[in-house]
Amino acid sequence: MSVLLNPLDLPVNQDKILQSLIAENLVSDPDSARGRLLREAARLFRDKGYERTTVRDLAAAVGIQSGSLFHHFRTKEEILKAVMVETIRLNTAVMQAAMEAADSSRDKLRALVSAELESINGQTGEAMAVLVFEWRSLSEASQAEVLKLRDIYEALWLDVLSALKDEGALIADPFVVRRMLTGALSWTVTWYRPERGGLTREGLTDQVVAMLGLSQP
Amino acid sequence: MSVLLNPLDLPVNQDKILQSLIAENLVSDPDSARGRLLREAARLFRDKGYERTTVRDLAAAVGIQSGSLFHHFRTKEEILKAVMVETIRLNTAVMQAAMEAADSSRDKLRALVSAELESINGQTGEAMAVLVFEWRSLSEASQAEVLKLRDIYEALWLDVLSALKDEGALIADPFVVRRMLTGALSWTVTWYRPERGGLTREGLTDQVVAMLGLSQP
DNA sequence: CAATACCAAGCAAGCGCTTGGTTTGTAAAC
DNA sequence: GTTTACAAACCAAGCGCTTGCTTGGTATTG
């Protein structure tokens, strides 16, 4: 319950996780040249789509010439892959921590929903949207690579949902529920605007958890 | 209840609706040159994405030269728009009929969920996937046009969900629920494979309705 | 002084779309 | 029942432009 004392409803320090991932060279420092490019790339890819974003757009966004991009990345697709890979790495770590901080399965699920909503609608939102909508722009080889990382991420969800099923709190199939949740939560990028007031992220989390019939213990 | 006697769980004759829409020139005859092209275009756009599909691909799919396409459509984008517009027209009509065939609000919602799952995973599935994933490839002007048609479609859902809310059967906000449902149902295109056995469309509909806590009257 | 980061210029390929001309379908005119 | 007329459907060729990426060279940095 102590985790809920955090005003942002974040049970873990996202920044500390980021720092350790940077130290392990698993994600780029947002202040580095590479990190800035990936952030701008995520924004452009989300706004215009991968195909409509040219290497000249990407270069201009960080103030260099288009040819200079290829000093940092071998191909344009490698940029897309890097955006996806680093985003999954970060969010997997954040979710793992959020989940471990919770005690009951019910609280763990709530933490996962809240964290996923944060990742979709917060800082990493642009990259998450890219992950959802630009999947087909990856080569099959890259898709396979990224898929491996996603499996780790998805296993977190399935563990918790399966536990809830075993405890009798969930009637439906965990796989089906997770997939419905994936769609429902991903789709929030297209309509949910917390900055415009109205529904807070915590309120949205409540609605999702309630929709699953898990609000009352 | 009589509607459920239909083995396909379709409360209305989809083919008759299609015929009347063709007669009104609101959708193209699938056997016409235009109709065939739009079907192939939907398939290609879904499989490779709009940008990666060239006019040469489109032409080859129906066995003509690329230049000949522009006898039927002024631009490539017009093809994308036509796919979307005709799909929305057909599905709006099907859903309206499915809804009107049901009596209670609960049954109406079930009919809508079932019909949307059918439109996403059945004959019009390719075009529905295009509608979801290729939205940004439309020019803003075209987006506005298509949005008007979508609003009609969405009004159907909101009417039913609002009625359920008024009846006390639904606790959450109708707008939020509809949006969650949009995401959850759209996302089924990425994983739901009814032909591989397992979950039937009716079974999936049950799970969705149950997830909303509306299974028991 | 070496490695890293960048620029200026441009190439080859592929893109949407245009052009001018030919075939095909249809139906009235003789 | 053949001829004439004409539009719709299509082909062959290719134009102009943009694309991802390369190349050879120049700053910058530790």
DSSP assignment of chain A: -GGGGSTT--SS-HHHHHHHHHHTTSS--TTSHHHHHHHHHHHHHHHH-TTTS-HHHHHHHHTS-GGGHHHH-SSHHHHHHHHHHHHHHHHHHHHHHHHHT--SHHHHHHHHHHHHHHHHHSTTHHHHHHHHHSGGGS-HHHHHHHHHHHHHHHHHHHHHHHHHHHTTS--S-HHHHHHHHHHHHHHGGGT--GGGSSS-HHHHHHHHHHHTT-S--
Separation between Cα atoms, residue B158 and residue B178, nearest integer Å: 7
Q: Kindly determine whether residue B186 and residue A183, on different chains, have CB atoms separated by under 8 Å.
A: yes
Q: How far is B199 from chain A (nearest CA, A)?
A: 10
Query: Which tens digit of pLDDT belongs to each residue from B126-135?
Result: 999 999 999 9
Q: Is the pLDDT of residue A174 over 80?
A: yes
The residue of chain A with its CA nearest to that of B212 is A211
Inter-residue contact B98 to B112 (CB < 8 Å)? yes
Inter-residue contact A35 to A82 (CB < 8 Å)? no
Query: Which tens digit of pLDDT belongs to each residue from B92-126?
Result: 999 999 999 999 999 999 999 999 999 999 989 99
Separation between Cα atoms, residue A161 and residue A64, nearest integer Å: 47
Q: Which backbone phi and psi does A72 adopt, to 5 degrees?
A: -95, -35
| A114 inside 8 A of chain B by CB | no
**A173 — pLDDT class (breaks 50, 70, 90):** confident
| A147 inside 8 A of chain B by CB | no
Q: Which residues of A touch B207 (CB under 8 A)?
A: 172-173, 176, 180
Q: Given this model, what pLDDT does residue B209 score?
A: 87
Separation between Cα atoms, residue A166 and residue B72, nearest integer Å: 58
| Chain centroid to CA B212 | 21
Superfamily of domain B21-27+75-211: Tetracycline Repressor, domain 2 (1.10.357.10)
**A12 — pLDDT class (breaks 50, 70, 90):** low
Separation between Cα atoms, residue B38 and residue B82, nearest integer Å: 7
B129 Cβ neighbours under 8 A, 6+ residues apart: B46, B120, B189
| Average pLDDT for B40-64 | 96
Q: Given this model, what pLDDT does residue B1 score?
A: 42
CATH no., domain A12-211: 1.10.357.10
Q: How far is B195 from chain A (nearest CA, A)?
A: 16
In this structure, how many other beta carbons lie within 10 angstroms of the beta carbon of residue A31?
9
DSSP state of B39: H
Q: Given this model, what pLDDT does residue A151 score?
A: 94
Specify the higher pLDDT residue, B64 or B197: B64
Separation between Cα atoms, residue B184 and residue A137, nearest integer Å: 22
Query: Which tens digit of pLDDT belongs to each residue from A48-83?
Result: 999 999 999 999 999 999 999 999 999 999 999 999
- Nearest nucleotide (CA of A59 to C1'): C6
Q: Given this model, what pLDDT does residue A126 score?
A: 95
Q: Kindly determine whether residue B133 and residue A133, on different chains, have CB atoms separated by under 8 Å.
A: yes
CA distances from B98 to A154, A206, B4, B13, B110 (A): 36, 32, 11, 9, 10
DSSP state of B16: H
**A117 — pLDDT class (breaks 50, 70, 90):** very high
H or E stretch including B156? helix B140-166
- Nearest nucleotide (CA of B59 to C1'): D10
Query: Which tens digit of pLDDT belongs to each residue from B146-158?
Result: 999 999 989 999 9
| A140 inside 8 A of chain B by CB | no
Question: Rg of the Cα trace of chain B?
Answer: 18
**A15 — pLDDT class (breaks 50, 70, 90):** confident
- Of all protein residues, which has its CA closest to the C1' atom of C10? A67
Q: Which of A76, A132, A187 to mutate to test the interface with B (most CBs of B within 10 A)?
A: A187
Q: Does at least one atom of strand D sit less than 7 Å from the CB of B68?
A: yes
| Average pLDDT for B1-13 | 49
Separation between Cα atoms, residue A28 and residue B106, nearest integer Å: 50
**A34 — pLDDT class (breaks 50, 70, 90):** very high
Q: Which residue's entry shows tokens 């409360």?
A: B11
